């Protein structure tokens, strides 16, 4: 199960949870739908979602808004630690970025085998510097095999831009502030770090339309029901108390609410053959 005891003292998520509770719950609902669909999750490539948990900061997950456990095609456990931030600027003075980097450093200290961990920030709105700098730098890191190649391309005119170099420099500075000075570790963190955009605050949100469509495909057509709204409300309750569920446990909870599933889409196709 997700979460191992590291501290005898914890804070109630009801009193210490971050602002933007609705945004956080919508992000969590997105991942709960991936769990129900038995599919690969956003930010956890190559792994099928198996279990979801919330507010597990004292159990080894400082990035604690959503903790998703998945199983890779090789049968290895992979974990996504995600923090929901309605706004983050990725600058040297940004306290939100500083807290995220600190949480990543603490996560790696709690779990020496960093190969199974992935880190993410979910944001509502993106910007030019985020797209041209942060996302491009992270994509470049994931596109090469070593820190030397990354550093060479990052410093080569025409292969990178000032926003990319500025982001990496700021990220390095924050890591240094928390005792991480190794360039290899910087590179390893960058290839495991994602900035995920969920435009829930926008009119005609693409993210919410996608989630509602997935919910519609999952829900049983035998009765009149609304899987998305029921799941969202249930996730709000689980998040507020720091709960967690496997797929089977989540399905059982939904059945108790009068909501039944038709089955994961890929399984339905297999049965139809």
Cα dihedral across residues 46, 272, 232, 206: positive or negative: positive
Q: Which residues pair with 79 in a beta bridge?
A: 69, 117
Task: Quick: pLDDT tens for 65-79.
Answer: 899 999 998 899 999
Render the burial of 121-136: b for 16+ CB within 10 Å, e for the rest. bbbbeeeebbeebbbb
Q: Is the pLDDT of residue 136 over 80?
A: yes
pLDDT band at 16 (very low <50, low <70, confident <90, very high): very low
Q: Which of 2-16, 170-184, 211-225, 232-246 has the lowest mean pLDDT?
A: 2-16
Of the two residues 269 and 209, the one the predictor is more confident about is 209
pLDDT of the residue at 6: 47
The arithmetic mean of pLDDT across residues 256-270, rounded, is: 68
Q: Are 191 and 143 contacting, i.e. CB atoms less than 8 angstroms apart?
A: no
Question: Given this model, what pLDDT does residue 56 score?
Answer: 63
- Give the pLDDT confidence of 84-127 residue by residue, as tens digits: 987 888 999 999 999 999 999 988 887 766 668 899 999 998 99
| Mean pLDDT for the chain overall | 86
pLDDT digits (tens, 9 = 90+) for 142-164: 999 999 999 999 999 888 999 99
**Other CB atoms closer than 10 Å to residue 198's CB: what's the count?**
22
CA-CA distance, 186 to 176, in Å (whole number)?
10
- For the cut 50, the answer to whether the pLDDT of residue 63 exceeds it is yes
Query: Residue 85 contacts by C-beta under 8 Å, 6 or more apart in sequence?
Result: 18, 20, 96, 100, 121, 122, 123
Report the range of poorest mean pLDDT among 114-123, 126-135, 160-169, 209-218: 114-123
pLDDT digits (tens, 9 = 90+) for 25-35: 999 999 999 99
Rounded CA gap, 252 and 261, in Å?
A: 10
Higher-confidence residue: 16 or 234? Answer: 234
Q: By percentage, how much of the chain surpasses pLDDT 70?
A: 85
Higher pLDDT, 9 or 177: 177
């Amino acid at each position: 199960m997700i979460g191992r005891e590291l501290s005898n003292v914890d804070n109630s998520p009801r009193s210490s949870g971050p602002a933007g509770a609705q945004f956080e719950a919508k992000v969590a609902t997105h991942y709960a739908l991936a769990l129900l669909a038995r599919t690969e999750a956003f930010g956890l490539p190559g792994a099928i979602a198996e279990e979801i948990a919330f507010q597990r900061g004292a159990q080894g997950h400082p990035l604690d808004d959503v903790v998703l456990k998945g199983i890779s095609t090789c049968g290895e456990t992979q974990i996504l630690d995600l923090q929901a931030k309605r706004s983050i600027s990725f600058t040297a003075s940004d306290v939100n970025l500083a807290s995220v980097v600190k949480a990543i450093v603490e996560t790696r200290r709690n779990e020496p085998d960093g190969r199974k961990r992935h880190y993410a920030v979910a944001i509502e709105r993106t910007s030019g510097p985020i797209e041209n700098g942060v996302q491009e730098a992270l994509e470049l890191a994931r596109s090469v095999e070593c820190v030397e190649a990354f550093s060479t391309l990052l410093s080569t005119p025409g292969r990178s831009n000032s926003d990319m170099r500025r982001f990496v420099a700021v990220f390095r500075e924050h890591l240094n502030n928390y005792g991480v000075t190794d360039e290899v570790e910087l590179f390893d963190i960058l290839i495991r770090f994602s900035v995920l955009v969920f435009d829930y605050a926008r009119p005609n949100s693409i993210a919410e339309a996608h989630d509602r469509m997935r919910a519609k495909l999952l829900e049983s057509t035998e009765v009149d029901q609304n899987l998305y709204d029921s799941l969202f409300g249930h996730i709000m309750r689980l998040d507020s108390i720091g709960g967690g569920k496997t797929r089977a446990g989540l399905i059982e909870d939904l059945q108790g609410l009068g909501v039944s599933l038709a089955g994961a889409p890929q399984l339905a196709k297999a049965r139809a053959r």
